[in-house]
Amino acid sequence: MESWRQITHFIGLARGKRFDAADEDQFLELKGVIVQELEMILASGVCSSPTKDDIHAMMNNVPSLRSLSQLSEGALRNLEHQWHLIYIGWHALLGRLKVKHRTFESLQSKSGFLRRWSSR
């Protein structure tokens, strides 16, 4: 999610048309990291939302900072909206994972108690 959060920084750079070749390189590297992290999450089998198609569509709509800087204000707002929907989806997934983790920990502590009690 930290990588995903950085996208808004680059949208701001593109909106203000204040970026250089180093920013462009960082943006392209960030896109690669996001796609790799997405594949790792999807391979785990725990993610149904946001979808791979939603994320790939957004990444494909912003091939570079230069192309992003040429978008209209309305298109940039739409892109920010897409980003926000996906970001909220990541937080929802994180919440579900935390609940599963707590449930698992609770079951482990109970089963440990039962093992100790029954071994007496």
Predicted local confidence at residue 120, as pLDDT = 55
How many angstroms separate the CA atoms of 91 and 110, rounded?
A: 29
Q: pLDDT by residue for the chain (120 residues), tens digit each?
A: 789 899 999 999 999 999 999 999 999 999 999 989 888 888 877 777 788 898 889 999 899 999 999 999 999 999 999 999 999 988 888 888 888 778 777 777 666 655 555 555
How many angstroms separate the CA atoms of 2 and 88, rounded?
A: 13
How many angstroms separate the CA atoms of 10 and 80, rounded?
A: 11
CA 99 to chain centre: 19
Burial tier of 50 (Cβ tally within 10 Å: 0-12, 13-18, 19+) = buried
